[in-house]
Amino acid sequence: MDERFYFTYIIASRSRTLYVGVTGDLRRRVFQHKHKTHPGFTARYNCNRLVWFESFSEVSAAIQREKEIKGWTRARKIALIELANPTWEDLSEPWFPYLAVQRVC
């Protein structure tokens, strides 16, 4: 049987506006954020840089973690990001190399 994973993640804009979400397909969801396929907060504030994520084998655990982080202060969310990703690098950049090329040109 295939093991399934679920993800709690934080997407940020260049100006560091934060969005916390949960998904069963992180790569697809980040692609949607980058291409603004759904109108809403992340499209409006240009949140398209994956700066933190955590994986879970149970969807309920991922949802619980999302709710927990959403309840945190902004400072605590930033501390979580900077613990794992101090430079706020876009962790999804290797998944979409054509986007990196477009930014250079």
- Tens of pLDDT, residues 9-52: 999 999 999 999 999 999 999 999 999 999 999 999 999 999 99
pLDDT band at residue 74 under the 50/70/90 scheme = very high
Tokens of 102: 């477009």
Alpha carbons 2 and 93: distance in angstroms, whole number: 27
Pairing of strands 49-56, 6-12: antiparallel
Share of residues in the chain with pLDDT > 90 (%): 86
Domains of the chain, start order: 6-104 (3.40.1440.10)
pLDDT computed for residue 30 by the predictor: 96
Global pTM value = 0.89
